[in-house]
Amino acid sequence: MECLKRVSHIFSLIGSVLWLLVHHILPADPETNLAQIWKDVQVLYEELRVENRYGQMRMTMFTSSSQPKMKGKAAEIKDLGPVVVRLWLKYYNKRVEVHRQILAVLEASAHLDEILTDHPTDFVLPDAAAEDLISTGFIMCSIQYAVFQHFKALDMPLFGLTAKAYLLLRCCLLSKLGGPVFLEIDGATGAYVCNGL
């Protein structure tokens, strides 16, 4: 199941949440908002005993020309996931439907990581875990697509689904079947290729 960990579904998810918090939800200018977010992240790192931490946070770490994507080491980004769930809970408006949908996507993403953490060496997941992984993956991507549609008209499209979402779902499905499943990068195109049964 290592391939699923490498098909990181959280780069654009975390980047979009941070961009939304800094540019639209918190009340001050973006730089001041980012400073507040960084203070919150440092507190949550301690509370959650996060192992792989960012040493700083700058706007360029989650802003790109196409859509927000979190930059950093894979372990830092993965360990930032639970922190971002708590950040979102602190600042979101539970009366706004798209805010509740974003929370559902974040929680589903965290649940995917929990399933994989619970089965670090399994070549094939047990049936219950595989079914949970499959259903959570499909629900997460469905809700994320609805959130993407909501924000599509913005100058900065948020919560975009890329080919990595397809690879994520394919790896989820293959988790039940077993057999060799590998994520490779095509040398000619640079595209991710999920090879399996």
Tens digits of per-residue pLDDT, 148-170? 999 987 777 899 887 778 888 88
Query: How far, in Å, CA of 120 to CA of 2, rounded?
Result: 8
Q: Rounded to the nearest 5°, which phi and psi values hold at 81?
A: -50, -55
Q: Are 77 and 14 in contact (CB under 8 A)?
A: yes
Where in the sequence is the domain holding 190, given as residue range(s)?
Answer: 2-195
Which position has the higher pLDDT, 77 or 41?
41
Q: What is the pLDDT of residue 42?
A: 97
- Taking each helix axis as running N to C, give the angle between helix 163-177 and helix 127-151, from 0 to 180 degrees, rounded to the nearest 10: 170
Tens digits of per-residue pLDDT, 48-58? 999 999 999 99
For the whole model, what pTM was predicted? 0.84
The number of folded domains in the chain is 1
User: Is the model's pLDDT at 181 over the cut of 70?
Assistant: no
Task: Quote the tokens at residue 160.
Answer: 């975009």
